[in-house]
Amino acid sequence: MTNVGAGLAPARSARAIRAGERIHVVGIAGAGASAAAILAFRAGAEVTGCDPGGPSPYSEAVEALGIPIAWSHDASHVTGGPAPDRLAVTKALTAVDPDNAELVAARAADVPVESWQQVIADSALGKRLIGVAGTHGKSTTAGWLVHVLVAAGTDPSAFVGALLAPAITDGPPATARWGLGSEFVVEADEYAGNFDPYRPDVAILTSAEWDHPDVFADEAAVEAAFETWIGRMPTGATLVANAADPGVRTVLRRLDESRVTIVRYALEGAAGDFGADLVARVVAEDAGGTTLEIVGHEDVGRAMKVRLRTAGRHNAANALAVAAVARVVGVDPSAIVRAIETFAGVGRRLERKGEVSGVVVYDDYAHHPTAIRETLRAIRQREPQRRVWAVYEPLTYHRTAALLADFADALAAADAVAIADIWPGRDPDTTIASAQGLADAVSARNGTIAVAAPGSVEATATWLSREVRSGDAVLVMGGGRSYRIGERLLEALAAEEAP
């Protein structure tokens, strides 16, 4: 397994950020690092940052606060003035580029190098921390919970791994929110112990499935990571858990319920409700959303029908998790229902980017077979009469190779499939999988037309503009730079349409 995070200070208990503390954030244009910078700044730190990748959808909110950003790595960021009190980085940097100039300079100057997650945990000290964990659904569930708490007037702070709307952030779209209330919602990612700095008073576990094969040997390793993290919650904490998920049930069987109160939720299904405290039944699904009937958990639903603006059964389950946690922290049931019904989603989660020449384009962060399968089902609900393209930029060679058959099965549910180049991210071995190999595996499934698109996300968008036709729905999925495919496709279609 990859030794991700080597060279970082180990996770520790949160320590309040001091007024005037100097924090330099490396990779500040990333989703998580940008949030760390924003929250540390709002907590009183003097924040600087750098990112050789240039501006991103996440950096606008950082720049709006006046936080200086250098668009390169340089040792002078550590040595060129008063040394920072700490360097905040992503674990991927310490694994992929351990000799990075700033890391070397920090070590020479005895400047602590910590994860950006530690900075977020320190920003949350003194708040009631709500951690949203699970293999799938973290960003949507965390963003939905923030939406409900804001609507209820609790004024929460938050880090969510997807862009929150300006109405939530009171500024540009951002992955962070700073509030004066007592709740702090944080997306808690299991990858290589990213969630270790968080010790939540309330937690959600949406799912537990094998992912990140570069750090987890198998599903049992993933379940053990969640079990260990939950075991570190303070005595008297509350865990809200999706009892319909097999991996979650395995984790629950191992927990000491004398230490942690467990609230179980589940969608009704063929296998029953698993003794859940909060249960919902999907009573209608259409292009405009999903209707649920919810019962249980201190009468949060009272067998009430709730109309969601989101699509897909996975989002119905996410809504249940949000309802349960909102009730745990004291939000009135009627206020919960009203707020759940007005949530429109977060960035890059079945986000409708636009329609040109009769072609509608959606963007999603899905990069795991289960997420791809559920997102394709959701777009069929949204666009029932259209031919559906699945356009996928695989995220890392290890994940693609380890889950190749599952990816092929999931993608084959589309009417047509295009595979862009694999985004390597932190993955040093680029020989174990390929876009063509995945396309061939999809084509072998059931006759679905699958092609390895010509190269980069930009080239993929250009190629796609010549292949789509009026009436198509294009679902772009992946991590990396896949979001550019939808943007460039719409631009190309608009240029072709122009006189």
* Per-residue pLDDT, 93: 84
Expressed in percent and rounded to 5, the helix, strand and coil fractions of the chain are 35, 25, 40
Angle at 142 between CA 138 and CA 144, to 5 degrees: 120
Torsion angle, alpha carbons of 267, 273, 277, 280, to 10? 30
195-243 pLDDT tens trace: 999 999 999 999 999 999 999 999 999 999 999 999 999 999 999 999 9
Low-confidence ranges of the chain (pLDDT < 50): 270, 301
* Per-residue pLDDT, 96: 79
d(CA 207, CA 318): 10
d(CA 302, CA 279): 11
* Per-residue pLDDT, 301: 46
* Per-residue pLDDT, 447: 83
Residue pair 47/77 in contact (Cβ under 8 Å)? The answer is no
Residue position matching structure tokens 């070590």: 107
Backbone φ, ψ for residue 102 (5° rounding): -70, -35
Structure tokens at 148: 């409900």
| Domains of the chain with CATH codes | 22-120 (3.40.50.720), 126-342 (3.40.1190.10), 351-497 (3.90.190.20)
Cross-strand bridge partners of residue 47: 23
Residue pair 51/236 in contact (Cβ under 8 Å)? The answer is no
The CA-to-CA distance between both ends of the chain, in Å, stands at: 55
d(CA 173, CA 61): 7
- Name, in order, each residue with C-beta under 8 angstroms of 453's C-beta and a sequence gap of 6 or more: 391, 418, 419, 420, 435, 459, 460, 463, 464
d(CA 23, CA 47): 5
User: Which DSSP state fits 347?
Assistant: T
* Per-residue pLDDT, 270: 46
d(CA 134, CA 195): 11
User: Which DSSP state fits 484?
Assistant: H
Cross-strand bridge partners of residue 359: 356
Structure tokens at 272: 């029953």
Residue pair 242/254 in contact (Cβ under 8 Å)? The answer is no
* Per-residue pLDDT, 272: 58
d(CA 402, CA 411): 16
d(CA 36, CA 181): 18
* Per-residue pLDDT, 269: 72
